[in-house]
Amino acid sequence: MASNIQYPENSCVWFIEGDNFVLLTNVNSSGNLNTTERKNWKAIQEAVTDGILIKYYSEPEAVSSINDVPDIDNSLHLALVDYVKKCLYMDKAGTALDPNQSMVSSNASMMHRQKWDEAVKRFGMKKRDKVGGARVMNVPDFR
């Protein structure tokens, strides 16, 4: 079912407040502009099935079986191994009775943490970004 709003790009606005998506319109349920200048923007006055389409960054699906493939780009799959090892080495460092072994495990944990941070935070977007070519045009100044 289509809405009664002819030009949503002019009559609807959105913003996020906390965990809520807020939709405002300046038209009534018939799609005519609200005549009151005050209280011009209001909640939408009509029920529209599938009226809003949102595009968003979402959380990857959780894995539940050993045959699952992680729901992320394959360039980031190996980083998961580093994350798991980082945690397991830190567990080992915390439970080891020998201080030397604890130190070695702690260092190994730090190494895997650095690899994880590098893969995800530093180069994560670059690795999976599908945009090719130049990112910035730096035009030389010939003056």
Partner 1 sequence: MSVRTITVKEIISRVRQVFPDAPEKYIMSLINDALVELGMYNSKVSTAKLSTTANQMYYSLKDAAKDSSNNILEVNKVFKVYFMDDNGDYMQIPRLVDTNVILTDATSESNLNIPDSN
| 23 closest CA partner among 37, 12, 33 | 12
Q: In angstroms, give the least distance from the CB of 111 to partner 1.
A: 12
Give the interface segment with partner 1, choosing from 60-68, 94-102, 135-143 (CB under 8 A): 60-68
Is 23 within 8 Å of 3 (Cβ atoms)? no
Q: H or E element: which one contains 106?
A: helix 99-117
Q: Under rule CB under 8 A, how many of the chain's residues touch partner 1?
A: 79
Q: How far apart are CA 111 and CA 108, in angstroms?
A: 5
Using CB under 8 A as the binding rule, whether residue 33 contacts partner 1 is answered as no
* Nearest alpha carbon to residue 54 among 30, 31, 21: 21
Q: Which is nearer to partner 1, 61 or 114 (CB)?
A: 61
Which residue, 104 or 143, is less far from partner 1 as judged by CB?
Answer: 104
Of residues 76-135, which lie at the interface with partner 1 (CB under 8 A)? Answer: 76-81, 83-85, 87-88, 92, 116, 120-121, 124-125, 128
